[in-house]
Amino acid sequence: MSPRPDLGPKPRLGYIENPIERAGERRTDAAFLAAAASDPRAATYVIGGELVVMQKTSNGIDPLFTIEQAGALGATGESVFLGLLDGAARFAVALDRAGVEATKNRPDFAVSDLRSITIQGLVGDNHLAQMAEAKALWHWHARHRFCANCGHPTNMVQAGWRRDCPSCAAQHFPRTDPVVIMLAIAGGRCLLGRQARFATGMWSCLAGFVEPGETIEEAVRRETLEEAGVPCGRVKYFACQPWPFPMSLMIGCHVEALSTEITIDRTELEDVRWFEREEVALMLLRRHPDGRATPPPFAIAHHIIRAWVEDCGVLA
* Whether 181 contacts 163, CB under 8 Å: no
Provide mean pLDDT across the span 188-212. 97
153-189 pLDDT per residue, tens: 999 999 999 999 999 999 999 999 999 999 999 989 9
Long-range contacts of range 234-239, CB-CB < 8 Å, 24 or more positions apart?
A: 234/315, 235/182, 236/314, 236/315, 238/303, 238/304, 238/307, 238/314, 239/13, 239/300, 239/303, 239/304
Residue 3 has pLDDT above 90, yes or no: no
pTM for the model: 0.95
Q: What is the pLDDT of residues 217-273, one digit of tens each?
A: 999 999 999 999 999 999 999 999 999 999 999 999 999 999 999 999 999 999 999
pLDDT cut 90: percent of the chain above it: 94
Q: Do the Cβ atoms of 183 and 305 come closer than 8 Å?
A: yes
Tens digit of pLDDT for each residue in 19-75? 999 999 999 999 999 999 999 999 999 999 999 999 999 999 999 999 999 999 987
Are residues 244 and 15 in contact, defined by beta-carbon separation less than 8 angstroms?
A: yes
Answer whether 216's CB lies under 8 Å from 238's CB: no
Question: Which domains are present in the chain?
Answer: 24-143 (3.90.79), 145-174 (no CATH), 177-310 (3.90.79.10)
Assess whether pLDDT exceeds 70 at residue 122: yes
Question: Which of 3-17, 190-204, 241-255, 260-274 is least confident?
Answer: 3-17
Phi, psi of 173 (to 5 degrees): -115, 150
pLDDT given for residue 208 in this prediction: 98
- pLDDT range class, residue 2, cuts 50, 70, 90: low
pLDDT tens digits along 283-296 = 999 999 999 999 99
Dump pLDDT digits (tens) for 69-93.
999 998 777 899 999 999 999 999 9
Enumerate the β-bridge partners of residue 46.
53, 93
pLDDT computed for residue 74 by the predictor = 84
